[in-house]
Amino acid sequence: MTTIKLHNSKTRKKEVFSPIDPNNVRVYVCGPTVYDRAHLGNARPVVVFDVLNRLLRHTYGEGAVTYVRNFTDVDDKINATARARKEAGAAGSLEDLVQERTEETIDWYLKDMGALGASEPDHMPRATAYIAQMIVMIKDLITKGHAYADGAGHVLFSVKSYEDYGALSGRSVDDMIAGARVEVADNKRDPMDFVLWKPSTDELPGWDSPWGRGRPGWHIECSAMARDLLGASFDIHGGGNDLMFPHHENEIAQSCCTNPDGDFARYWLHNEMLQVEGKKMSKSLGNFFTVRDLLDQGVPGEVIRFVFLQTHYRKPMDWTAKKAADAEATLRKWRALTAGIEPAASAAAAVMDAIGDDLNTAGALAELHKLASAGACADLLASAQALGLLTDEMGDWAAVSQAPDLSTYETQMFEARQSAMENKDFGEVDRLKAAFIAAGLEVRMSKTGVELIPTNGFDASKLEDL
């Protein structure tokens, strides 16, 4: 059995993972708010925790893991999107348009994430299906003195009622007040108190409650869904590190106050953010794009996944066009090597050890390169599939017929280079290199050989006269 070590944000150290019940390993990951297409940064946690899901199932058994990722389908951004559509002349009530938008966006999300090779979780709860559970939890928090109603339709959580608030992010309440943009409202007893329930207008989605018609605050959703599907104590909670405060901090406070004898989540995993060409992704910089944008531009989902896996999940990831081109070239070669071959019975131990070491996907890819170089094709295939690569479902883009045999040209270039090293005349090397580049090949030369890698613009006809 693979030993799994995970960096626990809660303790700030790497720990050997030991599940509460090895026959029922439980994972909860915060999912998207469904108001628009998922941008590239939204996809990173999907791939990260898909790898974790695969690792856990490999280690404990396919039926021994319960993976939950939610959809937030009630939110101000969704309402704003629906209102904009109505103002533009869309038919139907505002509530109908909200429902239409969430259904549409969830469908987009699942298709786009599926294109990246991400398996669907065991449960994908929608917040709107758990309103009753949220109301029960809020009532319990009020009864226990951890929450209060303001008499105007709001219910707020009293942060000072939970003495361990801030333990996850490692900050005191005073520091958080000083460093955060905290909404100061007359109905708050303390600036850090946050909303559990708020009023809703007649035209927007809303539900009856003891505090009037309204809808839940964001944070209570995950606490209620996690408890209902995984229990008061479960193994792993994951998400982007931008959620650590306040969302995850608030989840812990709510859940532990409702279930003081439970652990809520024992291990917390947080992935770092994504950049594009060395800069933060933003619309103002013109480097903001969705997963669908890339797919429509012809970047295969498997290539996007490979680029993600090249960087450890706890490090910032930089998406670049060069990384995508290199990933495509590598995947083409690996698919050519493994074409028609049955995978080994299991992934190589070195690959699984890397993945088990805090999801060291970069280290696992390094091991795959070694297997490819050694010609261990069956092991390469099984090991790549453990990372969600080289699967049959993702291979249409890289049909072997599209991966030409360039070995003759590689030998020609290598021999020309060897001769040039002896006679100091590099004219033939330069001629060949220029021709290869003109044909859309990337030329990589080393002491041991020459590697020619097709790019998107590769045209084999331009090599005919060589």
User: Are 197 and 336 in a shared domain?
Assistant: no
Domain assignment present for 394: yes
Distance, in Å, from the CA atom of 328 to the CA atom of 110, rounded to the nearest integer, reads: 23
User: Are 233 and 125 in a shared domain?
Assistant: yes
Domain assignment present for 33: yes
- Which residue segment(s) compose the domain that 445 sits in? 406-463
Instruction: Report the predicted TM-score, pTM, of the whole model to 2 decimal places.
Output: 0.84
401 — pLDDT class (breaks 50, 70, 90): very low
Contact 194, 159 (CB under 8 A): yes
Report the candidate in 243, 263, 192, 227 with the shortest Cα–Cα distance to residue 33: 243
Distance, in Å, from the CA atom of 387 to the CA atom of 51, rounded to the nearest integer, reads: 6
Domain assignment present for 3: no
User: Are 209 and 284 in a shared domain?
Assistant: no
**Which of these three, 249, 271, 293, is where a domain ends?**
271
Domain assignment present for 302: yes
The DSSP bridge partners found for residue 453 are 442
Report the candidate in 365, 369, 356, 341 with the shortest Cα–Cα distance to residue 451: 369
User: Are 308 and 262 in a shared domain?
Assistant: no
275 — pLDDT class (breaks 50, 70, 90): very high
Residue 357 token pair: 């070491």
User: Are 255 and 280 in a shared domain?
Assistant: no
203 annotated ligand binder: no
**Which of these three, 350, 374, 400, is where a domain ends?**
400
DSSP 10: T
Give tens-digit pLDDT for 126-168.
999 999 999 999 999 999 999 999 999 999 999 999 999 999 9
Please state, rounded to an integer, the average pLDDT across all residues of the chain: 93
Total count of domains within the chain: 3
Residue 173 token pair: 């309440």
257 annotated ligand binder: no
User: Are 335 and 450 in a shared domain?
Assistant: no
Distance, in Å, from the CA atom of 201 to the CA atom of 160, rounded to the nearest integer, reads: 30
Domain assignment present for 8: no
Q: What is the CATH number of the domain that holds 44?
A: 3.40.50.620
User: Are 224 and 141 in a shared domain?
Assistant: yes
User: Are 190 and 303 in a shared domain?
Assistant: no
User: Are 293 and 263 in a shared domain?
Assistant: no
30 annotated ligand binder: yes
Distance, in Å, from the CA atom of 193 to the CA atom of 160, rounded to the nearest integer, reads: 8
Residue 248 has pLDDT above 80, yes or no: yes
